[in-house]
Amino acid sequence: MSRTARTIGLTCWAILGFNFILAAIVAGWQFSAEQMTFLLLLAGYLIVSIFIFPAILAIIYRSSFNYWWIWTALIGLWILGGVGNQLQGQVPGWLSLLGSLIFFGSWVALLVGAGVVLFQRDIALPLIGTLSLVFVWVATITWWVRGDLIAEMLGIMLGTPGTGDGIFWLAVLLSSIVCLLPIAIVGFCVTTVRAIRREIRGNTLPAVAPVQTESASTSNH
């Protein structure tokens, strides 16, 4: 790991630690309304930085996205977290909160992972095409099967009992696609610029690969 990556990593851990201290202060002490407002802002910062934390970690350890098991683990965490989030009211509050945190954290990490892969490999265009089709057809079929989605959405917004049940995963899928599409578009632009730069540079491969010398091969070890 490079020095920069190590510095970013240590800073992240420090921010996380600071967040826990802040959380303890907010939870444990009594404050006036003005102080409470200020602390709520701090709590907002806490929540945001908790979601930024997995993103930064994913960027630092981006090479791990080359392994399938990292993806499997993150998707597993994402689903488990989502289930925890959905069981709000049926399980202890701390478990539901933990589920939500895991859910959003792994989601952010997955999005970063997708971004990393998109910048490394030229798969943005098929991804954009597939995601847009999935988005439209999932929305269409769901509407067809479930009926009025506007009522469902209004029900969720108003907290009407009995509405919005089971639509959680649809919302998650569609919003994931909405988040992924701009990443894929940026990935497409980046890989296009890279291809143009390669073209300008011309034949960049060595015509005949240099023979690997003894010293060169040993220095690699």
Nearer to another protein, 35 or 175 (CB): 175
Half-sphere exposure of 182 (CA within 13 A, CB side): 5
Nearer to another protein, 27 or 207 (CB): 207
Look-up of token digits 């709590």: 43
Smallest distance, another protein to C-beta of residue 52, A: 29
Smallest distance, another protein to C-beta of residue 149, A: 8
**Which tokens in the block code for residue 180?**
């992924």
Residue type, 144: W
Nearer to another protein, 93 or 159 (CB): 159
Smallest distance, another protein to C-beta of residue 37, A: 21
Smallest distance, another protein to C-beta of residue 114, A: 20
Nearer to another protein, 108 or 180 (CB): 180
3-class SS of residue 121: coil
- Tell me the β-bridge partners of 88: 91
Point out which residues bind another protein (CB under 8 A): 122, 125, 129, 132-133, 136-137, 139-140, 143-144, 147-151, 154, 157-158, 191-192, 195-196, 198-209, 211
Nearest CA-CA partner of 110 in 178, 167, 176, 60: 176
Nearer to another protein, 199 or 214 (CB): 199
Please state, in angstroms and rounded to a whole number, the distance separating the CA atoms of residues 61 and 216. 28
Q: Which residues contact 176 (CB under 8 A, 6 or more apart)?
A: 107, 111
Smallest distance, another protein to C-beta of residue 208, A: 5
Residue type, 104: F
